[in-house]
Amino acid sequence: MTRIPAAKDPTRNVWLQLGLPDAEEHYLKAGLVLRLDKAIRALALTQRAAARRIGTTQPELSKILRGKFSEVSLERLLRFLTALGYHIEIKIAAAKANKAGAVTIRDARRRAA
């Protein structure tokens, strides 16, 4: 059984269900926004303090965290996470022959101390 990447799976990507253009990109952005929210909570920052740290305004950060991020680039979301001290690794590997590749976002596995 072939596993469909989440961004391309209509049962897991609401933007595909809605037939929106750039549905995969919206799915990826949503994943980064969820991690941004988790990062802010983990650091116990207010939106105001987090916005100052990542170089934006509190109203803009609030808007992004409430799901209005279509105007925000993937690159900018990645910069926000790095500004909060998170390491981002992009891994590129060849896809199987005659198949399109996929983009996924995964949390790093924590290593035992």
Report the chain's mean pLDDT, rounded to a whole number.
Answer: 84
CB 53 within 8 A of CB 19: no
**Residue range 7-83, CATH number:** 1.10.260.40
Report residue 2's pLDDT band, with 50, 70 and 90 as the boundaries. Answer: low
Domain coordinates of the chain in residue numbers?
A: 7-83
How large is the average pLDDT for residues 67-75?
92
Q: Minimum mean pLDDT among 8-12, 28-32, 92-96: which range?
A: 8-12
pTM of the model: 0.77
- Residue 84 has a pLDDT of 95
Distance CA 27, CA 29 (A): 5
